[in-house]
Amino acid sequence: MEPIILNDSEQILKLLNDIKLTGRGLCTESLLENLLDAGFNEPDYLNAYGEDPTAFYQGKSPAWAVYHIRQWKRVCAIYGGKDKDRTIHLTETP
């Protein structure tokens, strides 16, 4: 997967809706649902890179392994990859 950087909320939400994560650790049918539950309803930045064979974008594998999503002062980082447990970290910057 080619790295991707987005700064438009609508594009970010659309992309996140098409991400399915399987494998070990964080799994979800739609990454968007997890981020909405965490309060990310209007993200202003997304950076995704790497390759994870247990992640799917628009039903096709592989998708990105690492996701950094920001909304104002809140940051969500999701780390995964081949043979790794996928983790999620939520932080708020001062």
pLDDT in tens, 9-52: 999 999 999 999 999 999 999 999 999 999 999 999 999 999 99
pLDDT of 93 = 82
Average pLDDT over residues 75-88: 94
Average pLDDT over the chain reads: 95
Q: 2: buried, middle or exposed (CB in 10 Å: 19+, 13-18, 0-12)? A: exposed
The residue ranking higher by pLDDT, 81 or 32, is 32
Is the Cβ–Cβ distance between 62 and 53 less than 8 Å?
yes
* Beta carbons within 8 Å of 10's beta carbon, 6+ residues apart: none
Overall number of domains in the chain: 1
Q: Look at residue 1 and tell me whether its pLDDT is greater than 90.
A: no
Q: Residue 86 has which token pair?
A: 């996928």
Residue 64 is part of which domain span? 4-92
The beta strands (E) that lie in 1-94 are given as: 4-6, 19-21, 45-49, 55-57, 66-71, 74-79, 87-92
Q: Residue 21 has which token pair?
A: 């994560």
- Of residues 52, 62, 63, the one with CA closest to residue 24: 52
